[in-house]
């Protein structure tokens, strides 16, 4: 039996963040699947993405992108009341702002989310394949 494993990528620096960004580029995200848990300082995205890191880049998977140690979240051009609004992720980058990092999630239609965090701690964890 040929067993296919789901991926898990952990980023703690810019190179890792760029790897996750490349894997998530073009991913579909619903506004309803974006969660910020301020008490836990965790920001979660559930996304449907192509499996670009393997030869099966035409296969889709559901993944969770988890950002830890997030102190603040800001968004622009995202209708948070429209839970079914679909966003397409273009990529991720970061800026060093004094002692903190600002991780930017950039979407189509000039929409973005900025996460203020102490350190870069991001996990991309595949949950299931999409048929």
Strand runs (DSSP E) across the chain, as ranges? 8-11, 28-30, 34-37, 42-50, 60-68, 70-76, 86-97, 100-107, 112-117, 122-130
2 lies in some domain: no
| Cβ-proximal residues to 8 (8 Å cutoff; 6+ apart), any chain | 123, 124, 125, 126
Number of structural domains (the chain) is 1
Rounded to whole angstroms, how far apart are CA atoms 80 and 68? 21
Cβ–Cβ under 8 Å, residues 109 and 40:
no
Q: Is the pLDDT of residue 4 over 70?
A: no
72 lies in some domain: yes
63 lies in some domain: yes
Mean predicted confidence (pLDDT) in 68-94 = 93
65 lies in some domain: yes
Rounded to whole angstroms, how far apart are CA atoms 119 and 125? 19
CA dist 33 → 88, 92, 123 (Å): 13, 18, 16
3 lies in some domain: no
Q: For residue 98, what pLDDT is reported?
A: 87
69 lies in some domain: yes
Range of 80's domain?
8-130
Q: How confident is the model at residue 56 (pLDDT cuts 50, 70, 90)?
A: low
126 lies in some domain: yes
Mean predicted confidence (pLDDT) in 95-121 = 94
Most confident listed range (22-26, 77-81, 103-107, 125-129): 103-107
Q: Is the pLDDT of residue 18 over 50?
A: yes
Q: For residue 1, what pLDDT is reported?
A: 38
**Mean pLDDT for the chain?**
90
Mean predicted confidence (pLDDT) in 44-59 = 82
């Amino acid at each position: 039996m040929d067993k296919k494993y789901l991926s898990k990528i952990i980023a703690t620096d810019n190179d890792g963040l760029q790897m996750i960004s490349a894997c998530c580029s073009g991913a579909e995200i619903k506004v309803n699947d974006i969660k910020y848990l301020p008490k836990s300082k965790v920001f979660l995205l559930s996304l449907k993405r192509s499996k670009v890191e393997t030869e099966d880049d035409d296969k889709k998977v559901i993944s969770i992108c988890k950002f830890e140690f997030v102190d603040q979240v800001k968004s622009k051009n995202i209708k948070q009341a429209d839970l079914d609004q679909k966003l397409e992720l273009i990529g991720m980058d970061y800026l060093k702002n004094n002692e903190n990092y600002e991780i930017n999630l950039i979407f189509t239609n000039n929409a973005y989310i900025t996460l203020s965090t102490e350190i870069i701690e991001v996990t991309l964890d595949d949950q299931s394949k999409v048929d």
